[in-house]
Structure 1
Amino acid sequence: MKDMLSTLEDEVSLRTGRAVKQRREAGGFSLRMLATRSGVSSSMISDIERGTKSPTVTTMARLAAALGVSAAALIAEGTGAAPRIRVLRRGEAARGENPACCQSLGPAGPGSRIDFVRYQIPPSTVLGPAAAHASGTVEHMHVAAGTVRVTVGDETAELSAGDSCSCRADAPHGVENPDPSAEALIYLIIERGYPAC
């Protein structure tokens, strides 16, 4: 029984660490930046992200606040219960994110795991479903014009011009322009995960 609990604890630590790392990287924070924002040492954050240390409740609360999420949401992500689609509506800015950052749509460099894509979707058009990407792949979408319906796995989100979303794209996914009279324009940044070994 003790071994079983130890294994469960290790699994939760690994998943929680992955959730912290994914949130940190998605927010563009280095270990040092997150340490400064949270008051948790960068070595402790590194240990948590690698799953070698289990964070205390206080440490999780500090990290979550610095990452702009609730501790419950961060823990839920670590247990696999997080939603696949995270929507950011026009005019909203999640804490810790800068709504005035510049946008670069140039080509990705050799060996990069990031793709920059611009889609003009004609009226009443469906793109997909596309096959699932490698685990860890995230697609960040911004709707520049029109309306779209995003589907990832069994989740769907409706977005209008100015809205953005981030999707865990390790499930079949697609985008639809449901408007019969107007084109939709989206910008997509794909952060590819690493294929399983």
Structure 2
Amino acid sequence: MYQVFVGDKPIVLTDKVELEQGFKNYLLDTVNIGKVIRELNKTDLREVRLIHHKKEKLLKKFLKRLPNVIAGGGKVYNDNGKVLFIYRNDKWDLPKGKIEGNESIERTALREVMEETGVGGLEIVKPLETTYHIFKRNGRHKIKITYWFEMRTSFSGHLVAQENEGITRVEWLNGSQMHEALDNSYANIRMLI
């Protein structure tokens, strides 16, 4: 099962059909994705489920429905166990950004964290869950596929928000600050934390 977020509401990709209660079922092969996005944005539906009988083909079939944007990002811990957060578009988020040229997704994640926050000395510890969300640019819906990595750093220098990317704050947050920030964040970030 996969979740693709439209705002904070998921499109659930599944091979199981269940009785509709607060959600709608559609067949993945025939669904109108634009209609699904409108329903999630304009109704009180909690989620939409797209069904395909072959579990192993769910994601591949869905990703063919919209242009894909590939991104890499980091959940970065410092030596004090705090996690690096950015504040962009009036929400708390983790640093991430689009792949450039033929760089590896790991290189993308390291570069984007450094560019958006000013933090150096980053080391990838392990890959985390990949997230999916739908956004609209220039009148077209696209799906952002973000490959996340847990990172560590001993960096203790000055944090620098990449203002030309709309980032207004960069902060190291402890456990309680992080949980408070997640109240004003995105569903896919809450999943990672």
TM-score (norm 1): 0.28
TM-score (norm 2): 0.28
Give the helix-richer structure, 1 or 2: 1
Give the strand-richer structure, 1 or 2: 2
